[in-house]
Every structure is written in C-alpha cells, then in structure tokens.
Structure 1
C-alpha cells in the first residue's frame, strides 16, 4: 500500500504555521483527531473511575480503551499496560521497585548508547541496593551496539539488562532479540526503551524479547504521557510503594493518583490514527502492521535523500554509519559553525532541527560531542520531500 503523505499532513493544523519539522524525536506534532479526543474528555462529565454514575463509567471506558490500544500498539496484554507522567518517571518507579530484590553481588547492565532515562534510574537504584553496574559500549565510528558488546557485560549475577531499541541520538538499532535471548539465558530481565523506536516501526515486544517495554505517546503523535507494557503475571510479582487505600490490582498498583483521562483518550486516538495511515481492513493490530510498514518505507526513502544530500555538502560531518539500518534520524555538524548557531540559522529559515545531546549523555561522551552537541534531524509521518529539500538548502548555505 502506497503512503500518501499529503493526505496525512492534512490532519496536522500545526503544519499550517509553515515550518519544516525535524524535531519529532523530541516530541511530534499531533493530528486533529488527537486534539479532539483530548478536548472531548475535558468538555464531558468525567469523575474518578467507577460504575455508579455516567461520569465514572466514562472514565472507566477511557482507561480500558487506552489499555487496549496500547496493547495493540506493542503486541502486549491490556492488563499489562501501565500509564505514567513520562517514560522517565515510569522507569524510575520500576527501577526502585525491582531494586528491592537486589543486593551486593547482583549486577545490572546498562549501555552507553541509551538515553539517560534508561541509564541513570538503574545506576542509582543499583547503587542504593549495593549492586554492581556493568557497562556495554558501542563503536563510535558506526554508532552500533552489538549483541556481543552487551554479552561481554553479562554474568550469572546479572539481574537486569536495560537497552534501547533505537538510539534517540543516532537512530541506530541494536539487535534486541539476540541481546534479550542471551540475557534471559543468564537469568536476567530485559527492560527496553522503545521511545525512539515506537514512532517508526511495528512493535512486537514478544519478538523483541522485552520483559518491559517503555514508550512515550507524545513521540508518536499523541499527548504528553508515558506508557509501559509487561506481562500481567510479571507485574503481579512486583510490589511498588503505594498508598494504603489505593488499588493493589495489576496494572493499577503502579499508577499513582487519578489518571490523566484526557491524555489517555488522546493516546488511544493517536494509536488509531497510526493504524489508519494507509487504508486497510482487519483488527487494529493488523492495520498497525500494514500502516507502519508503509510508513517505514516512506521514512526510509526520505532518510536516504537526506543522507545523500548531506554527504555532498562541504564541511558537514554525519555521525554513525548511514548504511546501517536505523530509524529516520540523522546527527550532523558543520565545521566552523557551532551546532547551536546552525540550529538558530535553520530556525530563522523555518526549519526546526534542534541541536544538543538530547539527554543521551553517555552516547554523546563516546562520540566526543558532550560539550557542543550536534544537530539532529528526525523524519516523522508528516515529513515530505520538500521539507528535506528545505533542510538541505539551508545547511548548504550555512556550510558554504
């Protein structure tokens, strides 16, 4: 099925402002359907979940619908879908909970490719428990973290491996299934950061081997929220700190306070929108598979156009190996022009491609850009070829 980017773009009012958006890795624009779903909740009678009043029933229906949509998105179980303020908050919560069972002699593996939200919570939780942190690093020339790189950090004492499905800085995609299989052989759990992966690929957490899969709806066209998926049986084994009167059933025991119903409704709408990026029939899960396959092809073609264009420009350096399979993300610098200045000059031309290290602290250190950062251009479902051309023209002027 061909991808009609013009038809997709028609649903995004933000694009009428005229900017070419390459800032999706930090937060995507939202279609009208998502905004309407949020507004509908805020302008309807909603109360805490329950069954007695219409307002209570509406809240319950919103939550159930969001869990079902989240499960369809990642190939999980609705009763294993947990919502929180952000992926960072959820990861801290689960790190503290899992660390209750750790002690001296136990080990946790983190990688230098990851966003710090999938590094620091585990490092700090391990330190508090007296456990040891093992590091897996990647090749800065290619931006690739191999399964062997992670395997070297494993031991029979490994309790958990935290790994990204795609680098938010470079877009490189580790071989998560192989890493997970090796980690499971060692008796470890696998926590996968899918924040940068989910907007660009069809997710099957079972195929990935993820015991926990965390992502952020606002990166895949939805509202600001965090989502985590795990098997309900695994969640049943975990005992987070909680208020005495709050629900102790799974998954509610991991969700603190009243849920953000409007954001959950917006998340359902975003997942429905993704499922209908191309016309199709079948279940929502089946439509997601077809739509995301078409989207991945569209984004790959634009990424190739962007990479080829940047390769022809003087004084422009791209990080990572452009020939490796990755999400549609390019990191680059222009010699003699600070990345912050490139960012500003692009913005002056209506091209939104920010500069920095984007919380990928360890990754930036390995690349040697922890002080200056670099410019990151990310392609999204609403990106069209003319946007890429605008970016290339602007960088050409900056690079001379």
Structure 2
C-alpha cells in the first residue's frame, strides 16, 4: 500500500479502541487525539471577543486567523477569502440568498442530480423566490458520469452548483473543466467540496466558491467556504448594523466557535503529518493527501472486486475518477437490514440516500438508497476482511 503507514495512523484515533470497523466516514470521520486535545485546551483557556488588548482577546483572534490560514493551505486559496460557519449547508443557504438578490426572471441557475441536497435545494429555493429558472444536469446511471453541461449554459446562466465528488457513489466530475466552460459563459461556480476534500489533494482556486466541512476530515462540526476576497467584496449579505462590513467577517454571524476553529487547525496539521514531505504546510498537505489517495484507492479496488464476486450483490458507481466510496445492495435484503446485520459483526456501514436524494432516485433506488461503504485513512486490511466476510454471511 505504498508509503502510507496505516498502523501508525490508527493509533492516533482513540475511537478505534472500541473495536468497530468504521466505513461510515463519508457521514463524519472519527477524531484523532490531537484534534480533541486542541478543542479541550481551547475551552479551558481564557477567551474573549477578538481583539488585541488582553491575552484572552489575542488568543481568540489568533485562533480565528490560524484557522483561516490552515484552511487556505488545505484548499490552495487565500486566507482572506475563508468564511467560517456552522455547516456547509448553512453557508450555502446564506450565499444562495445573498447571490439571489441580483437574480430575477430570465436568469438561470444550474444544479445537478449527482449532488448532495445541500448543493441543490438552497439554489432551487433561492431561484424560485426571485422567479429565476432552474436547469438540471443529469448523470448516466450506468457509468455514473455527469452529463455534458454545455447545452445548459447560455448568456442567461448566473450560477452552476456542482459537486467535487458524490458523497453517495464517489464520482469525481472534472470540475475545473466545468468551471472553465461556466466562466466562458459569464457565470459563477459553486462547488460542494465536502466529500472530495477528505480524500485527495485540492486546489480550489478554479472555483468561485468552494465549501467543505472539517468534520469529514477529522475536525469538529463546522463549515468552511473559500472564495476570492475580491468577489466577496462585491456581495452584501443581510447582517446586523453594528457587525463589521470587512471581508470575510461580513459573512460570519455572531461570535465564532473558537474551540471548533482550533480543532480545525489541528485537523489540517494532522493531515499534513500523514507521511507527506515539503518545506511548508501546503506542500506537506499535498504530499500527504497524494499518499492517502493512493492508499485508499488500492483498498477500494480490492474491496470492490471482492464484493462484486459475492452472489446477489449489486454495486453502484462506475466513474473513472472517484473517491474510495462504494454503494451496494443485496438481493432479497432491505438495505437497512443489511446495515443492521453488519453492525452485529462490528462493521459500521450505514444505509440510505445520505441526502443525495436526486442521485439516489436517478439510480433507481428511490429515497431509501443502499448501503454505503467509505474508506478512510484509518481503514486497514482487517476492516476490509471483516466487511467482506460479514456480507458473505448474509447469503449463508
């Protein structure tokens, strides 16, 4: 499995001592000790509103500045364009409402049937509220590849919302190429990077907006959006009168969760330390994530092959580029029952549509979806063996 040292990585996750094989990472990863320590340390330290007068003020300010820089390093963007929020969903709703202020009848917004609903419904609802038109981009259920977006683009297009990677079947569309086409049409691109960011090196500079969730990559439950500071300067969200109008703070409502931001920085540093090399954190992040991507993909290929060899198994997801995420069903079994049986063997692999409602319906799985298996840096050969053996027992 290359130079990725999974045994050393696993030792840093206290939750693994409970004994389960965790394939539930796409819904939220387990947490390394260093992240928990950063959160706890912050919560028992003196804190205040951000400022430079007292130690508590300076500590709070340093945590926020540090989190912006850490996320900018992870995404390859500017810390001055990092907006911090409660979740990706919350941030997307906020930006959809703000952007829609300049839309009206005749304007068009494109969403895809591959996306998590957090990158669909906010845009559909914002467009409906101002009389703009929503256009839908589909995908091929057989190949899992996103359709050609070109026929949907025109001078009326204002924004395209597209996923960096499907949280349901792992498909990774060529978003930089899509962004180029969208920009040629004079529109903006909003990328849901929640599932992508945990599995591969990211350079989000191609996106006008790139949103992700640290709890998917070992951090606390919060959300992050990256955009060019100059673009953010052009946008004016509803906000409290005394709240600052400076970018990126004008998009952040209320006091920020300092402990979660400290944990986010610790999570980024943890990723940078997964075996990568380089002279700065950005280089170490790219190197570590390249190692991780290779490790996860090798495990995914083996797991997929072994599951496909079991009678009654149907696998969904055939894209050429995808994350280490599998979706499957078992003939004669409800998917929720499959997950329940796997749990009896200490294998955590949940079932559902996982908010990728349009994708699940488009695959013919309705609203109930199927069983999802997500690999993570702490997944090892033993976990894979346990999963396969547990699935094999379903037919015995």
TM range (shorter): over 0.9
1:387 aligns to 2:383 (yes or no): yes
CA distance in 2, matches of 1:325, 1:307: 14
Could you say what secondary structure the match of 1:123 adopts? helix
Displaced runs of 4+ in structure 1, greater than 3 A?
none
Give the match for residue 153 of structure 2: 154
1:259 aligns to 2:260 (yes or no): no
Question: What is the Cα deviation at residue 279 of structure 1?
Answer: 5.0
1:16-27, aligned counterparts within 5 Å? 16-27=17-28
Question: What is the Cα deviation at residue 281 of structure 1?
Answer: 3.7
- Tell me, which stretches of 5 or more residues in structure 2 are unaligned? none
Give the match for residue 174 of structure 1: 173
Give the match for residue 334 of structure 2: 338
CA distance in 1, matches of 2:10, 2:25: 14
Question: What is the Cα deviation at residue 324 of structure 1?
Answer: 1.9
1:1-400, aligned counterparts within 5 Å? 2-146=3-147, 148=148, 150-206=149-205, 209-278=206-275, 280-321=277-318, 324-400=320-396
CA distance in 1, matches of 2:47, 2:312: 56
CA distance in 2, matches of 1:97, 1:372: 33
Measured at CA, do residues 279 and 191 of structure 1 come closer, stay the same or move farther in structure 2, by a change above 3 Å? closer
CA distance in 2, matches of 1:371, 1:194: 23
Residue 82 of structure 1 contacts residue 251 of structure 1 at CA under 8 Å; is this kept in 2? Answer: yes
Residue 103 of structure 1 contacts residue 129 of structure 1 at CA under 8 Å; is this kept in 2? Answer: yes
Could you say what secondary structure the match of 1:152 adopts? helix
CA distance in 2, matches of 1:95, 1:237: 14
CA distance in 2, matches of 1:375, 1:298: 22
How high is the TM-score relative to the length of structure 2? 0.99
Residue 333 of structure 1 contacts residue 339 of structure 1 at CA under 8 Å; is this kept in 2? Answer: yes
CA distance in 2, matches of 1:20, 1:365: 29
CA distance in 1, matches of 2:179, 2:286: 23
CA distance in 2, matches of 1:180, 1:43: 44
Could you say what secondary structure the match of 1:30 adopts? coil
Question: What is the Cα deviation at residue 372 of structure 1?
Answer: 2.9
Could you say what secondary structure the match of 1:214 adopts? strand
CA-based RMSD of the aligned residues comes to 0.9
Could you say what secondary structure the match of 1:199 adopts? coil
Question: What is the Cα deviation at residue 46 of structure 1?
Answer: 0.5
Residue 276 of structure 2 contacts residue 289 of structure 2 at CA under 8 Å; is this kept in 1? Answer: no
CA distance in 2, matches of 1:165, 1:70: 17
How high is the TM-score relative to the length of structure 1? 0.98
CA distance in 2, matches of 1:145, 1:398: 33
Per-residue CA deviation, residues 4-61 of structure 1 (Å, 9 max, x unaligned), is 0000111000000000000000000010000000001001001110111110000000
Residue 272 of structure 2 contacts residue 284 of structure 2 at CA under 8 Å; is this kept in 1? Answer: yes
Question: What is the Cα deviation at residue 371 of structure 1?
Answer: 3.7
CA distance in 1, matches of 2:120, 2:367: 19
Residue 194 of structure 1 contacts residue 213 of structure 1 at CA under 8 Å; is this kept in 2? Answer: yes
- Tell me, which stretches of 5 or more residues in structure 1 are unaligned? none
Residue 162 of structure 1 contacts residue 192 of structure 1 at CA under 8 Å; is this kept in 2? Answer: yes
Could you say what secondary structure the match of 1:235 adopts? helix
Residue 316 of structure 1 contacts residue 399 of structure 1 at CA under 8 Å; is this kept in 2? Answer: no
CA distance in 2, matches of 1:355, 1:334: 12
CA distance in 2, matches of 1:379, 1:297: 12
Aligned residues: 395
Could you say what secondary structure the match of 2:326 adopts? strand
- Which is worse superposed, 274-283 or 39-48? 274-283
Residue 334 of structure 1 contacts residue 399 of structure 1 at CA under 8 Å; is this kept in 2? Answer: no
